[in-house]
Structure 1
Amino acid sequence: MKKFLFNRYDKDTLLKRVSTDSRERRVISFYRYVKIEDPLAFRNKLYDVFEDLGILGRIYLAKEGINAQFSIPVDNYDKLRAIVDSIPELNKIYFNDAVEDKKESFIKLAIKVRKKIVADGLDDSQFDPSDVGTHLTPLEFHAALAEPGVIVVDLRNNYESEVGHFENAILPDVGTFREELPIVEGILKEEKEKKILLYCTGGIRCEKASAYLKYKGFSHVHQLQGGIINYAKAVQDAGITSKFKGKNFVFDDRLGERITEDVLTVCYVCGKPSDRHTNCANLGCHVLLVQCEDCAKELLNCCSEECKKIVLLPEEEQKLLRKENRENKKYPTHHLTRKLVGK
């Protein structure tokens, strides 16, 4: 019988399968910049193995390496470790276990081949991407945060950093990593001899960013090993107070792991304190926003009254409207933008 190396089920079927699966799952991420000669063949090999292990999640492959976020039944965790270590490109790769595990974090396995594992906008031929900054363990990073004159830079997008960040960090107001590096370089242009501490969600963005900043003449570039995910677990295990406040935004259905009880932003609709991220229920909009529970209930999980009116239409009318808007290249202009209210 032929084995399919891709998902063949619709969303409702996938959700039902996950909800009725009683196995405890663990959310894991890992990455590595490593040369992969044939990403497509590598992809098919991984899909075959990972599907057998019950893995659900997103994995990106390119000739430059791998970037993975997924969940796995806890009973298969050790099997995964053994299999991964048997693959030369992945041998002894670091597993970043999530602080919070949610069974519905992922509902299907998707492994995709891309030009890059992170869209950084950089020409890698211009510098040495392997010449990265000094990796600091979470506790080393924690201690370094207290050093006088140190500069801390958040390498995530604005919608990530607004709900959680390290104290006194520089938070570039950008929507993509591609935009961020030139802006960070400009902000730090007079600080090339100072100690720079970089951090991101799991560490992958810091790899390229630290190499780029070193190429640009920054002398003391350091990065948080394993990112915020690793830091949160380490300080929890050590019983010390986290210097990261709020939530760590994650790119799965959880949309965030709570690190501390601090709420750093507000509902885009009403301005009340909230750090609950959601996507507008109108699939023709689907904008990511911070929205409190009360506004979500009032607007039926939509970002605005206009989108609420659309989701109240019969499903077939919604589909026709989305099709018409795509054909006419009409995009939503009514929904709320970041920091519209209360900031």
Structure 2
Amino acid sequence: MQLYNTLSAKEREALIEEAGKDRLTISFYRYAHIGNPQIFRNHLFVAWDALDVLGRIYVAHEGINAQLSVPAENFDAFKAHLDSISFLENVRLNIAIEHDNKSFLKLKIKVRDKIVADGLNDDTFDVTDKGIHVGAEQFNELIEDPDTLLVDMRNHYESEIGHFKNAITPDVDTFRDSLDIIEQQLSDHKEDKKLVMYCTGGIRCEKASAYYRHKGFKQVYQLEGGIIDYTRQVKAKGLENKFMGKNFVFDQRRSERISDDIISNCHQCGEPCDTHVNCANEACHLLFIQCESCAEKMDHCCSHECQEVIALPEEVQKELRKGISKSNKIFKKGRSEVLVYKKPPQEPVSNSFTSH
């Protein structure tokens, strides 16, 4: 039985256009004990491939982390399948604010050591001893409290284009980088302050809240459902939206606009801009912010060097790409020496933090 993709992204994109059917972009996670992640992975692939599910899903002994899209007409069948799995019954589904039928172009279900790379030894603390989950209304009240420390648990390229007002935004490349930095820099406030955290959909805060309780923080809170569900609650309940800018997402859309605020700048000219792109040179693929004017001038590249590369014949470009590993270096956009504009220094909360 076929348990992997047989179509390229371009072929899948053409099929989606031909079908002309609406798709829903969804994310969810659940920490659970999975005895054999490989068997579970194969079960999901067979069931979801039949429903035309596309996406990026990680399965591990500790649970599942999924970002995917499903044809709207298959949503009920997809939900029924989730409910047939004991630990996924009635799991909270974060449905995207802005839908794009091409948010995902392949079904990738991978077995990993962890569903989020946190670098933690889970045997050293109780991962079920989590912080208090709060909805949008209580979250709004908490972040106006002067005794609250509001921390963005996402990476620098995510918070740069959007974050909650007065949030501490660690200048880090990965989630695992932020955990010890936050604990060290806020260690003087373990007893007297409320530690309130948020992330995209809640999964990073789920683990972090247990870790910080283990580290001695007495009052730990996390935004239930993350920024995605916060936005939905704000609209449904008529609450004040305290999020500024865009919410970075890990699919073809790259972001969802939450407010009209543009809080970041083009990395090439410095003009207000919050549009993430990947460098057109496939050997580079650097993620950075680029305005329309610079995109036209630079042929959608991050540098003149990359601009020269994409002018070469495709076969020559393929030869140049051989053996090159982009890895997570594509996310070092704000630190890349090829980008002319650098974010102006902010008044730091500490050597490792920026508070907006």
Please classify the TM superposition score into its range, dividing by the shorter chain length: over 0.9
Structure 2 counterpart SS, 1:105: coil
Partners of 1:32 and 1:339 in 2: CA distance:
40
Q: 2:66 aligns with which of 65, 68, 72?
A: 68
Contact 1:36 1:89 in 2 (8 A): no
Mapping of residues 36-185 of structure 1, within 5 Å: 36-185=34-183
Structure 2 counterpart SS, 1:28: strand
Contact 2:158 2:248 in 1 (8 A): yes
Q: Which moved more, 1:135-144 or 1:105-114?
A: 135-144
Partners of 2:182 and 2:344 in 1: CA distance:
26
- Give the aligned partner of residue 350 of structure 2: none
Partners of 2:72 and 2:337 in 1: CA distance:
40
Counterpart amino acid of residue 221 in structure 2: H
- Give the aligned partner of residue 295 of structure 2: 296
Give 1:78 deviation, angstroms.
Answer: 1.4
Give me the TM-score of the superposition, normalised by structure 1.
Answer: 0.95
Counterpart amino acid of residue 245 in structure 1: M
Structure 1 counterpart SS, 2:188: coil
Give 1:317 deviation, angstroms.
Answer: 0.2
Contact 1:304 1:335 in 2 (8 A): no
Partners of 1:55 and 1:46 in 2: CA distance:
10
In structure 2, the gaps of 5 or more residues are 346-356
Mapping of residues 190-205 of structure 1, within 5 Å: 190-193=188-191, 194-205=193-204
Mapping of residues 167-316 of structure 1, within 5 Å: 167-193=165-191, 194-316=193-315
Partners of 1:259 and 1:316 in 2: CA distance:
41
Give me the TM-score of the superposition, normalised by structure 2.
Answer: 0.91
Contact 1:161 1:171 in 2 (8 A): yes
Give 1:216 deviation, angstroms.
Answer: 0.5
Counterpart amino acid of residue 172 in structure 1: P
Structure 1 counterpart SS, 2:118: coil
Partners of 2:260 and 2:269 in 1: CA distance:
21
Structure 2 counterpart SS, 1:295: helix
Contact 1:266 1:275 in 2 (8 A): yes
Give 1:238 deviation, angstroms.
Answer: 1.6
In structure 1, the gaps of 5 or more residues are none
Partners of 1:336 and 1:88 in 2: CA distance:
50
Partners of 1:50 and 1:323 in 2: CA distance:
34
Q: What fraction of aligned residue pairs are identical, expressed as a percent? A: 49
Partners of 1:29 and 1:337 in 2: CA distance:
32
Give 1:5 deviation, angstroms.
Answer: 1.1
When residues 213 and 342 of structure 1 are mapped into structure 2, their CA distance, relative to the original with a 3 A threshold, is: closer
Give 1:341 deviation, angstroms.
Answer: 5.3
Partners of 2:238 and 2:338 in 1: CA distance:
39
Contact 1:270 1:341 in 2 (8 A): no
Question: What is the number of equivalent residue pairs in this alignment?
Answer: 337
Contact 2:12 2:106 in 1 (8 A): yes
Contact 2:137 2:239 in 1 (8 A): no
- Give the aligned partner of residue 32 of structure 1: 30
When residues 338 and 218 of structure 1 are mapped into structure 2, their CA distance, relative to the original with a 3 A threshold, is: farther
Partners of 1:338 and 1:171 in 2: CA distance:
23
Give 1:342 deviation, angstroms.
Answer: 5.3
Contact 2:234 2:240 in 1 (8 A): yes
Contact 1:274 1:290 in 2 (8 A): yes
When residues 324 and 114 of structure 1 are mapped into structure 2, their CA distance, relative to the original with a 3 A threshold, is: closer
Give 1:21 deviation, angstroms.
Answer: 2.3
Contact 1:303 1:335 in 2 (8 A): no
Contact 1:25 1:73 in 2 (8 A): yes
Q: 1:336 aligns with which of 338, 341, 344?
A: 338
Contact 1:266 1:342 in 2 (8 A): no
- The two structures, once aligned, show a CA RMSD in angstroms of 1.8
Give 1:312 deviation, angstroms.
Answer: 1.1
Partners of 1:325 and 1:288 in 2: CA distance:
16
Give 1:272 deviation, angstroms.
Answer: 0.3
Counterpart amino acid of residue 55 in structure 1: V
